[in-house]
């Protein structure tokens, strides 16, 4: 298969981790006889520094004409504590999601056996946890009108959802549930928010088209608690933009490190693959960032194009690396490997992973 992949390394640890996933994708192309073409483009603080624009036109154009986008990370501390900044790196990511129509963000979370003891949560609670969060990505409070009153004494963020916006991500979530354990949990705040009531009504109606899927509802405050009290109860979680952002960071504790969590952001025409972690500025250039979230995002890219055997090879290589402790410091405290060494190890495994048994 021939794929044109736009690579947007972004800020902080973004460049060093995407470098590893590109390496792994190249190894996949070699082994399975594909042609993957990579082209880099600027986004985030890196783009503001050079062009005063977090999402240059050329970057958006490249992404639109590519088959997929591999995204690194975004954000820089110089903007975080400056509430008056007019342009922010994060706008680049938000405009990219909107511009590419990426309305569904899919975030799988599972507990790796080897890492169960690493999680601050009790092992017997998280053993067997395996869920996927479907986060709506181009609506809600992230994209509503926002403004600060002229006197600076109040500020407003508007949260709006349409039936259309809810429906398209809901259908994807139901389809995923049909293929998994057939359970879908809608997380909302329908006891307070009008938008949440529209979510419940719309999702309940759509649920009739998926009779095999058991649908239940949780308020987001309770869901946040259930996520760590009893995570194995979840299969597919469907939720709006901001709740999904928050819950997926929380869910990363189950996996043992946020450095392991991958995501796919999909729409009708485009798809982007991005780790759920941020730009981790303190770690930039130190070789301590975990490249696995980016590498597993690359595996989701392969899956997206139906390259299942290829994706399995990448996932199996990751499992093996965890088993063998070839891991960065977030997971392997005593004898850790650098970002690049983990990348090298995984790259090297792609050609032989089928001959290795994991147990």
Q: Is 80 annotated as a binding residue?
A: no
Least separation, in Å, of the C-beta of 344 and ligand IPM? 27
Q: Which of 44, 37, 98 is nearest to 71 (CA)?
A: 44
Q: Is 145 annotated as a binding residue?
A: no
Which of 54, 75, 231, 291 forms a contact with ligand IPM (CB under 6 A)?
A: 75
Catalytic choice (11, 23, 161, 189) = 189
User: Does residue 180 have a known ligand-binding role?
Assistant: no
- Compute the distance between CA of residue 343 and CA of residue 333 in angstroms, rounded to an integer: 18
Is 189 annotated as catalytic?
Answer: yes
Task: Give me 241's structure tokens.
Answer: 């933009």
Contact (Cβ atoms closer than 8 angstroms) between residue 339 and residue 287: yes
Nearest-CB residue to ligand IPM? 90
Partner that binds at residue 96, options ligand IPM, Mn ion, none, CB closer than 5 to 8 Å by kind: none
Question: From the CB of 245, what's the least distance to ligand IPM, in Å?
Answer: 4
Closest to ligand IPM by CB, 297 or 321: 297
Contact 300, 262 (CB under 8 A): yes
Is there a catalytic annotation at residue 142?
yes
DSSP 173-233: HHHHHHHTTSEEEEEE-TTT-HHHHHHHHHHHHHHTT-TTSEEEEEEHHHHHHHHHH-GGG
Position among 165, 235, 240, 245 found at the interface with Mn ion (CB under 5 A): 245
Where does residue 83 rank: exposed (0-12), middle (13-18), buried (19+ CB within 10 A)?
exposed
Of 202 and 248, which CB lies nearer to ligand IPM in the complex structure?
A: 248
3-state helix, strand, coil in the chain (%, to 5): 50, 20, 35
Q: Which is nearer to Mn ion, 245 or 310 (CB)?
A: 245
Look at residue 11 and give the partner it binds from ligand IPM, Mn ion, none, a contact being a CB closer than 5 to 8 Å depending on partner kind: none
Does position 235 interact with ligand IPM (CB under 6 A)? The reply is no
Residue from 3, 22, 63, 74 touching ligand IPM (CB under 6 A): that is 74
Cβ contact 236:247 at 8 Å: no
Q: Which of 276, 289, 295, 302 binds ligand IPM (CB under 6 A)?
A: 276
245 is in an annotated binding site: yes
Residue 93's binding partner out of ligand IPM, Mn ion, none, with CB under 5 to 8 Å set by partner kind: ligand IPM
Shortest distance, position 22 Cβ to ligand IPM, whole Å: 20
Q: How far is the CB of 135 from ligand IPM (least distance, A)?
A: 8
Q: Is 107 labeled as ligand-binding?
A: yes
Binding positions for Mn ion, 179-218, rule CB under 5 A: none
Q: Is 30 a catalytic residue?
A: no
Whether 221 is catalytic: yes
Residues 85-114 that bind ligand IPM (CB under 6 A): 90, 93
Per DSSP bridges, beta strands 104-110 and 264-266 are: antiparallel
Residue 235 near which of Mn ion, ligand IPM, none (CB within 5-8 Å, type-dependent) = none
Query: What is the C-alpha separation between 68 and 304, in angstroms, rounded?
Result: 9
Give 233-292 as a DSSP string.
G-SEEEE-HHHHHHHHHHHHHHHT-GGG---EEE-SS-EEE--SS---GGGTTTT-S--H
- Residue 10, judged by CB atoms within 10 A of its CB (0-12, 13-18, 19+), counts as buried
Burial class (CB in 10 A: 0-12, 13-18, 19+), 356: exposed
Binding residues: 97, 107, 135, 221, 245, 249
Residues annotated catalytic, as ranges: 142, 189, 221, 245, 249
Kindly list the residues in this chain that would bind Mn ion in the complex (CB under 5 A). Answer: 245
Kindly list the residues in this chain that would bind ligand IPM in the complex (CB under 6 A). Answer: 74-75, 90, 93, 245, 276, 278
């Amino acid at each position: 298969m021939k794929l044109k992949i736009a690579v947007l390394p972004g800020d902080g640890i973004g460049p060093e981790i995407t470098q590893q996933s590109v390496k792994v994708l190249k190894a996949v192309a070699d082994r399975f006889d594909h042609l993957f073409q990579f082209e880099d483009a600027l986004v985030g603080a890196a783009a503001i520094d050079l062009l005063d624009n977090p999402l240059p036109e050329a970057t958006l154009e490249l992404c639109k004409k590519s088959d997929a986008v591999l995204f690194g990370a975004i954000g820089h501390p110089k903007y975080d504590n400056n509430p008056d900044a007019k342009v922010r790196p994060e706008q680049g990511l938000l405009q990219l999601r909107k511009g590419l129509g990426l309305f569904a963000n899919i975030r799988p979370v599972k507990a790796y056996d080897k890492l169960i003891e690493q999680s601050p949560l009790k092992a017997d609670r998280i053993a067997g946890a395996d869920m996927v969060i479907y986060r709506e990505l181009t609506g809600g409070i992230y994209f509503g009108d926002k403004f600060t009153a002229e006197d600076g004494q109040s500020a407003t963020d508007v949260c709006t959802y349409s039936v259309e916006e809810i429906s398209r991500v809901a259908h994807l979530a139901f389809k995923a549930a049909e293929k998994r354990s057939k359970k879908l949990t809608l997380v909302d705040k329908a006891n307070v928010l009008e938008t949440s009531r529209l979510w419940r009504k719309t999702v309940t109606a759509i649920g009739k088209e998926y009779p095999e899927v058991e649908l239940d509802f949780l308020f987001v405050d309770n869901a946040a608690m259930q996520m760590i009290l009893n995570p194995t109860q979840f299969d597919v979680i469907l939720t709006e933009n901001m709740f999904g952002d928050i819950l997926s960071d929380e869910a990363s504790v189950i996996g043992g490190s946020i450095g392991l969590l991958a995501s796919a952001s999909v729409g009708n025409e485009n798809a982007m693959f991005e780790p759920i972690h941020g730009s981790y500025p303190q770690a930039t250039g130190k070789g301590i960032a975990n490249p696995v979230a980016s590498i597993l995002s690359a595996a989701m890219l392969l899956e997206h194009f139906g390259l299942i055997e290829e994706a399995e090879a990448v996932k199996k290589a990751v499992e093996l690396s965890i088993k063998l402790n070839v891991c960065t410091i977030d997971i392997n405290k005593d004898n850790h490997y650098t970002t690049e060494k983990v990348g090298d190890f995984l790259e090297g495994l792609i050609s032989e992973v089928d001959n290795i048994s994991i147990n």
